[in-house]
Amino acid sequence: MATTVNVGTPAPAHHEQPRRNRRTAYKLAKMNWIGGGLGWVWLFIVMVPIYWIVITSFKTQANYFITNTFAPPSDPTFDNYKTVIDNDIVRYFTNSVIVTVGAVVPAVLISFMAAYAIVRGYGSRVLGLTNTMFLAGLAIPLQAVIIPVYLIIIRLKLYDTLLAIVLPSIAFAIPLSVLVLSNFIRDVPKELFESMRMDGATEWGTLWRLAFPLTRPALVTVTIYSALGIWNGFLLPLVLTQSPDQRTIPYALVSFQGQFGVNVPAIAASVTLTTIPIVLLYAIGRRQLLSGLTAGFGK
């Protein structure tokens, strides 16, 4: 008697349902509910002062003292922004842009070339010592060396100039940039460098034609991170500048506070205006910032 065997008959659908349920339960078990909850709590803590600054900037000085602090303004006004713009906020903004761009661009270029030399010249005693010096720079806070920096700037006759802020900013931005970029360059396969060498490329050509395109996320990371630190810098402008024409945004906020007295809405408007470039910069390069900071540390 011939027996018919259905080889291609699919398995019953009810066998797939338990697998899906187990897979879903496994995913739920892997979720970090505590970490997620703490993340939402931290987000609330961060958003409260931002909300307060924004709504306060649209209040009048009289309404600020008679209304609820966290209540939105009943009659929003842009007078605070007009007052801030009329008091040289554009000049201070321009100074901050000049200092930030003038410090970030050289710092990133120097850090990129230094990181490439450290990674490619592994085993060299000089480059190893250089890398150690860069790592030691991470342990030295700006507050600990502000007096020597001040004396050097005085000797160079650069006091009360924007260049007096740019040069120390470059020096303090390099160590962390070298650390991030060197870890990223180490992730590039050595076979790519060897193939470039076999094709007759020089180290300089390999640097710009191979390492530069592949490390672009890390370059964006150090650019954003350094720009945020320099843009928000307060100590260097405070110590190394004196005239109002050389003030940057963070230092100018102090003068706004003294100029407007207790006009809190005007101060909130100035803070809101100066925060917009930072928010836009972070929103544009958020993914590159996170990927670059974590590159090379998972090995």
Write the pLDDT tens digit of every residue in 249-282.
888 877 666 554 667 888 888 888 888 887 887 7
Q: Looking at per-residue confidence, does 75 or 17 come out higher?
A: 75
pLDDT tier for residue 201 given thresholds of 50, 70 and 90 = confident
Whether residue 299 has pLDDT greater than 50: no
* Predicted local confidence at residue 98, as pLDDT: 95
What is the average pLDDT across 28-51? Answer: 82
Write the pLDDT tens digit of every residue in 203-238.
888 888 888 888 888 898 899 889 989 998 999 999
Indicate the pTM of the whole model.
0.77
Q: Which of 77-86, 144-153, 154-163, 169-178 has the least mean pLDDT? A: 77-86
One-letter-per-residue 3-state SS of the chain: CCCCCCCCCCCCHHHHHHHHHHHHHHHHHHCCHHHHHHHHHHHHHHHHHHHHHHHHHCCCHHHHHHCCCCCCCCCCCCHHHHHHHCCCHHHHHHHHHHHHHHHHHHHHHHHHHHHHHHHHCCCCHHHHHHHHHHHHHHCCCHHHCHHHHHHHHHHCCCCCCCHHHHHHHHHHHHHHHHHHHHHHHHCCCHHHHHHHHHCCCCHHHHHHHHHHHHCHHHHHHHHHHHHHHHHCCCHHHHHHCCCHHHCCHHHHHHHHHHHHCCCHHHHHHHHHHHHHHHHHHHHHCHHHHHHHHCCCCCC
- Domains of the chain, first to last: 88-293 (1.10.3720.10)
